[in-house]
Amino acid sequence: MRRPVIAGNWKMNPPTLDEAISLARAVAAVSAPLDGIDVVVCPPAVWLTAVAGELAGSGVAVGAQTMHHEERGAFTGETSPLMLAGLASYVILGHSERRQYDGETDEGVARKVASAVAHGLRPIAAVGERLDERRSGATEAVIDRQLRAAVSGLDTIAGSGLVIAYEPVWAIGTGEAAEPSDAQSVARQIRGILHERFGDDAGDVPIQYGGSVTADNAAAFLALPDVDGALVGGASLKPEQFAAILAAAAG
């Protein structure tokens, strides 16, 4: 049985250390009574140390929002996988905002996914289509291209901890979530590609839905046969809403 993975992507929030610690403490409190799910919070890099310290022993895992594939070097502003050791156990890679605003490419995401696995980090590899791609009927082709690239550097996914997040770009932060049937269709495609590439190990990979996930719609997505969690944006900054999403995942 795949365990649902609910990851809160805080993005460039909150603005102060005190708020970050307070939010981490609130997430730990609402997560404590729940079993059978993996809960992850992904704060900005500057708050990783403090949040990891606050969550130590709570059962809530910490994830980074990105990383460089190299261990060290002249890469101003970047964070290496070695720097994440002891702080994060997950790392989001290929998020659409990184692709859009920071020029991340399919090839770059592939290097990062392979590096994360090699360094014992669980990659949350994000794939998803833009609105113009959706309207032109290119969703399936985009998912195929991005996913095959993301896992191209892996010889096996057994023991890799790989997580795939389907995040339709047009639904992120817009309040317009995908229909559950659309999310299931893409999740089924993702699992089929992984099965073609890696065989039965594909059945062990959690697939998240991300894109305007709320307390009101989470249960519908989490009930889908190939959706095993959520990558949550804005609602992860509101403990009461995040708690409702966690409760839906816990069943």
Active site residues per annotation = 95, 167
Q: Parallel, antiparallel, or unpaired: how do β-strands 38-42 and 61-64 relate?
A: parallel
Angle 39-211-92 from CA coordinates, rounded to 5°: 50
All residues at 6 or more sequence positions from 216 whose CB lies less than 8 Å from its CB, including other chains? none
- In 3D, which of 5, 12, 63 has the Cα closest to residue 237? 12
What spatial distance separates the first Cα and last Cα of the chain, rounded to whole Å? 14
Cα(91)–Cα(125) distance, rounded to whole angstroms? 8
Cα(232)–Cα(203) distance, rounded to whole angstroms? 23
- Listed in sequence order, the DSSP H helices in 124-228 are 131-135, 139-150, 180-198, 218-222
Secondary structure class of 122 (helix, strand, coil): strand
DSSP run (H or E) holding 108: helix 106-118
Cα(85)–Cα(82) distance, rounded to whole angstroms? 5
- In 3D, which of 155, 157, 151 has the Cα closest to residue 203? 157
